[in-house]
Structure 1
Amino acid sequence: MNKKRWKQAGAAVFMTILLMTGCFLSSSSENRGEEESGETEFFAMNTYLTFQAYGEAGTIENALKEAQERVEELEKKWSVTDPDSEIYKLNHSKERSAVLSNDTAEVIRFALSMAEETGGRLDPTLYPVLRAWGFTTEDNRIPGQEELSELLEKTGYEKISMEGNRLTIPEGMEIDLGAVGKGYAGDEAAEVLKKYGIASALLNLGGNVQAVGSRPDGRDWRLGIRSPFGEGNLGVLEVSDKAVVTSGNYERYFVGEDGRTYGHIMNPDTGCPVDNDLISMTIITDEGKCGDALSTSLFVMGLSEAEKFWRAHQDFEMLAVTETGEIYLTEGIENSFSLETSFQKMKIHVIEES
């Protein structure tokens, strides 16, 4: 077994986005009179989740409870390791076909549409490749080229067939919703809170951050963007009513016997960890599921192609950090992001529309 070194999701803040709460947590009663704050923490989707919300007295507890239950419900349907989940049953069935629940069918349709939109940079069929590298088992190894070639023959989102809620996949293919699942779950949890009339909440799904409205005092939420170079925050991003999602191969990786570092985000073309000019990619968008999908796929693309993709769409913002220690951010968040003191010397490039 190869020498390995891991950085994994852990208690509350082991991903790129850290929540910067501060003194405003106790301010809602002063600003809103009858409002109160509440928080729930739980483990789901292989990470720790923290939901903070502000609302009318008497409703906050029920709202948070239902939001948590909604996330747990989706996890039970989508887990690749739970024998009772829809995804597990499909991946291990002899028929290779199943009629899915509306939730599962909808998220797979979304994943397939994003795979098409990103030219296959997002591909929900790479699970066997991840397993070969040991990222699903923690028994890390470097697969040989012949093994990878055989596995890649069984991947490819375009080989999936959907008719209504019936999904059919080829023999040997396995579906994994890890690149969109947390984002989708965050959207669903936010909708639960809104149903209860909650207009101010911050949901942290292991680094996927969903901001519902603004802070209780009406100001933007302040989110600490974790430094991909070590401990601490790179800077602060101010947002309201947005999802903020970051991807990077520094989150989960191992060092092989060859001395090289191998990260968990795979290039669908090669079956190998992405190795380009980026160290992290942060997406700011209206929906968590879009942020989840884009943070992964644009990280795979690399900086130049990611810039072209943004200019062609411009319905999201991005903040990319390069291996050389420079920051590239889109013009829409130029005035919303500020570097921490220890990173003031980093060069920031603003990506403009044209």
Structure 2
Amino acid sequence: MKKWFAAVLLAALVLTGCGPKQPEAHEAQLFAMDTLMSLRIWGDEVLVTQTEDTLRSLEALLSATSEDSDIARLNRDGTAELQPQTADLLQQALDCATRTGGAFDPTVYPLVCLWGFPSGKYHVPTEAELTGALAHTGPQHLQLNGAVAALDAGCSVDLGGIAKGYAAERCAHQLEETGAQAAMLSLGGNVQTVDSKPDGTAWQVGIADPNDPSSAIAVVRFTGSKALVTSGDYQRYFEQDGVRYHHILDPQTGRPVQNGLRSVTILADSGTLADGLSTALFVMGLERATEFWRASSDFEAVFITEDGMIYATEGAAPLLTDCTFTELKR
């Protein structure tokens, strides 16, 4: 759930800089999956329309709040035969839950609703309410057999923590297959690139300053097809009685994560992986997340802490500019 300002910030960074005149890029903006999306595609103009159509169709399948979606039917009926894309993403979400030891959990929707984030009717739960909701969360409550999914009674699924990454990745593959020269898709805090910029310069993606999200605290510069996804406590929150409550919930406690992190940015080849891990590593906290990265080989990360410190894994460090940071080594 990344707010519109992230898309605006990222688009602004991409469009800055000098250099040779580029071939014409076609641009569009749309609001889908609860965020403002910006598309910039080099190639036939029809590719923009096709990408928009794909994003709309995936939203219709994956939204937990649209009553005709696959996910809404599963949550309502307890079982559903899913479209191939939904089943594919649900399996990847379960795989991410297993890999991260439950730090990413696609079944936290009862908790998300309890806090009022989908409706905007915010509520700080009592301990009894949290205990009741936690009894209906956990990947063990979700079964997937091919295209048929089933949920235990009282449980529900929300793919909001991974769906935009999946959508961006599918659109990128579609653009590659249909002849796009290059593209940058900015779906809120999710960025997906296709190939390198036609003028040969690097892609430039800003990481939002948690204290001033309309500006960048650092810039990541890279070439080629990559996904860069940020999860932060500033993206969606409410305040009550002087206390700030953000939307990234710890699946173990049911409460907003409080571990000293403000944001986690993941750089990976897969948008789906980057999206899921950005949430999971935020939940883990810096120390555990760093150990998780050291045991992995398919992503890099940038962490921003409450005291304004920036930590970059050794694969991300050479790409990070316009900031001071500490490099994390294997």
TM-score of the two chains, using structure 1 as the length reference:
0.88
1:244 equivalent in structure 2: 228
SS in 1 for 2:124: coil
1:32 equivalent in structure 2: none
Listed one character per residue, the Cα deviations across residues 143-197 of structure 1 (whole Å, up to 9, x for unaligned) are 0000110011011112211111111100111111101100000011111211221
**Equivalent pair of 1:122/1:293 in contact (CA under 8 Å):** yes
Matched, 1:191 2:177: no
Listed one character per residue, the Cα deviations across residues 275-316 of structure 1 (whole Å, up to 9, x for unaligned) are 011111000000111110000000000000000000000211
Q: Where does 1:1-354 land on structure 2 (aligned, <5 Å)?
A: 9-10=3-4, 13=7, 19-22=13-16, 27-29=21-23, 36-55=24-43, 60-93=44-77, 96-230=78-212, 231-240=214-223, 241-257=225-241, 259-339=242-322, 346=324, 348-353=325-330
Q: Matches of 2:11 and 2:138 in 1, distance apart?
A: 30
**Bigger Cα displacement from structure 2, 261-270 vs 81-90:** 81-90
Distance 1:273 1:238, change over 3 A: same
SS in 1 for 2:45: helix
Distance 1:256 1:15, change over 3 A: farther
User: What letter matches 1:228 in structure 2?
Assistant: P
Structure 1 residue 136 displacement after superposition = 1.1
Identity of aligned residues (%): 38
SS in 2 for 1:335: helix
Distance 1:25 1:167, change over 3 A: farther
Q: Matches of 2:19 and 2:28 in 1, distance apart?
A: 14
**Cα root mean square deviation, aligned:** 1.9
**Bigger Cα displacement from structure 2, 118-127 vs 60-69:** 60-69
**Bigger Cα displacement from structure 2, 319-328 vs 18-27:** 18-27
Q: Matches of 1:178 and 1:64 in 2, distance apart?
A: 24
Structure 1 residue 10 displacement after superposition = 2.7
User: What letter matches 1:49 in structure 2?
Assistant: M
User: What letter matches 1:53 in structure 2?
Assistant: I
Structure 1 residue 220 displacement after superposition = 1.4
Q: Matches of 1:267 and 1:202 in 2, distance apart?
A: 32
User: What letter matches 2:327 in structure 1?
Assistant: V
User: What letter matches 2:52 in structure 1?
Assistant: Q
Distance 1:17 1:333, change over 3 A: farther
**Equivalent pair of 1:15/1:251 in contact (CA under 8 Å):** no
User: What letter matches 2:155 in structure 1?
Assistant: M
Unaligned runs of 5+ in 1: 1-6, 30-35
Structure 1 residue 18 displacement after superposition = 6.2
User: What letter matches 1:163 in structure 2?
Assistant: N
Q: Matches of 2:22 and 2:63 in 1, distance apart?
A: 37
Q: Matches of 1:201 and 1:14 in 2, distance apart?
A: 16
Q: Matches of 2:65 and 2:19 in 1, distance apart?
A: 37
Structure 1 residue 103 displacement after superposition = 0.5
Q: Matches of 1:86 and 1:42 in 2, distance apart?
A: 22
**Bigger Cα displacement from structure 2, 179-188 vs 160-169:** 160-169
Q: Matches of 1:122 and 1:67 in 2, distance apart?
A: 28
Unaligned runs of 5+ in 2: none
TM-score of the two chains, using structure 2 as the length reference:
0.95
Q: Matches of 1:119 and 1:288 in 2, distance apart?
A: 20
Distance 1:224 1:144, change over 3 A: same
**Equivalent pair of 1:17/1:225 in contact (CA under 8 Å):** no
Distance 1:18 1:149, change over 3 A: farther
